[in-house]
Amino acid sequence: MREMKNDELLILENPFTCRDRYYKRRIRLSTCNDNGRKLKCFLIEYHKNVITGTGMRDIIHLLHYTVVKYSALKYPIMLDIGETSFNDKLVYIVLECVIHIVMEKYHRKVYICYKVTDSIWTEGFKYSCLNNVNDGFDIFEKKFKYDLDRKHFRKVFTYQDYCDKKCLSKLMTDIRCFLKNNCINESSVDELTEVLIELVGNSGEHAKTDCLIDLDLTDDTYKSTADDLDNYYGLNACVVNFSKELFYVPLMNKMKSSQEVNERHIWVKKAKNNHERYFSDKYSEKDFYTISSFQDKISGSIQKNKTGGRGLTSLISSLGEKASDQLCYMASGNRALFFYADHMRFNKEEFIGFNKNNDYINSIPEDGVIRDVDVYLPGTMYNLSYVIKKESIE
């Protein structure tokens, strides 16, 4: 398998910026063990209690610096992240992609050393292809491309796959069967399958790029409190694509250049007139077009005026209302939009405010709904994690 389309942007759009001495203090020559053989390697030690977006940015910088500055020395790289945990599923999925780029694009053998503590959001790490990095590239790549376990489904869905509609239909069937085999109730199976297929389809239709989908279910032994009699499990999904075009761009370009808009787009113009007085570093025009892209019958595609984002947004909201807790967001570039169930209700005009007022036209999103992301994520990436009470699905 070749690399995922546009995936190298993940490294190129996060260029290392510190002086050489900063990196040289963190990268040193050492030895590693490869099937009983001692090999020289570049050792990168990055120890944090929790790896977040900031940690991913730092790791990308360290790996990129190593392969660029020491390009003449083809020693393997040993990445030691020590005892740690990941903030959410998307963080370790991005790390998988970074390691794959370094091995595939830069032809560097990589080893990884870690002891990871998981949570209901990240238990799926036990299925991660990062556990196969030390086994060699061929095994790692096979798991990177596809994996099916009783509680784990993963697939790289290429743009060529998208162009063959039979492949998208097969993917839908595969996801539906996976969820049904885990005793998820019928309505949730239908909603989650539809969400995931729409996100995969958007990667092909709008970004014209490959898409990675990773879905896991945790054990059902979690408790909300020590004395809670109920058991809970996690349903965690990520959908990732890489592209130079960020999520908000199609709608922004359409609104600024096209006359082919429907009545709903006229409301977007009215909302922008109200919102722009509040534009700042915390809430920008780009953020406005991000929340607008999730509105009913609003599309960035000039060819699609009568359909829009209602299906996806409504389904995400419905799943959130059924869950006991959730950690759901969409990240693109340096920004993330968080999906809080109580901020995602449609009002009578079928708009979502992303605020307590439930008012898209006149009110900007609540604080915390849109946040900075320290690592630049080229393309569009979703983290959809739900905590579900065991009894509610049986």
Whether 256 has a pLDDT exceeding 80, the answer reads yes
Place of tokens 């910026």: 17
Summarised one tens digit per residue, pLDDT across range 215-246 is: 999 999 898 887 887 899 999 999 999 999 99
Whether 392 has a pLDDT exceeding 50, the answer reads no
When mean pLDDT is compared across 60-69, 119-128, 227-236, the lowest value belongs to 227-236
Are 354 and 369 in contact, with CB atoms under 8 Å apart? yes
Separation between Cα atoms, residue 70 and residue 328, nearest integer Å: 39
The predicted pLDDT at position 260 comes to 64
Tokens of 350: 């079928």
Q: pLDDT tier at 393 (50, 70, 90 boundaries)? A: very low
Dihedral over Cα of 58, 61, 64, 66: its sign: negative
Whether 113 has a pLDDT exceeding 70, the answer reads yes
The predicted pLDDT at position 311 comes to 67
Tell me the mean pLDDT in the region 279-297. 94
Residue 269 dihedral angles phi and psi, to the nearest 5°: -65, -40
Whether 1 has a pLDDT exceeding 70, the answer reads no
Residue 242 dihedral angles phi and psi, to the nearest 5°: -115, 130
Q: Which amino acid is at 212?
A: L
Whether 307 has a pLDDT exceeding 80, the answer reads no
Are 27 and 66 in contact, with CB atoms under 8 Å apart? yes
The predicted pLDDT at position 233 comes to 94
The predicted pLDDT at position 259 comes to 61
Are 212 and 239 in contact, with CB atoms under 8 Å apart? yes
The predicted pLDDT at position 224 comes to 83
The predicted pLDDT at position 258 comes to 66
**Alpha-carbon separation of residue 317 from 101, 187, 341 (angstroms):** 34, 14, 6
Whether 69 has a pLDDT exceeding 90, the answer reads yes
Whether 302 has a pLDDT exceeding 60, the answer reads no
Whether 12 has a pLDDT exceeding 90, the answer reads yes
Q: What is the mean pLDDT of the chain?
A: 91
Q: What pTM did the predictor assign? A: 0.94
Are 328 and 385 in contact, with CB atoms under 8 Å apart? yes
Are 106 and 66 in contact, with CB atoms under 8 Å apart? no
Summarised one tens digit per residue, pLDDT across range 127-181 is: 999 999 999 999 999 999 999 999 999 999 999 998 888 999 999 999 999 999 9
Residue 324 dihedral angles phi and psi, to the nearest 5°: -80, -25
Separation between Cα atoms, residue 149 and residue 146, nearest integer Å: 10
Are 148 and 127 in contact, with CB atoms under 8 Å apart? no
Terminal-residue alpha carbon distance, the chain: 39
DSSP annotation string for 27-76: EEEEEEEETTEEEEEEEEE---SEE-HHHHHHHHHHHHHHHHHTTT----
The predicted pLDDT at position 214 comes to 98
Q: Residues in the chain, how many?
A: 394
Are 347 and 382 in contact, with CB atoms under 8 Å apart? no
Summarised one tens digit per residue, pLDDT across range 180-209 is: 999 888 888 999 999 999 999 888 888 899
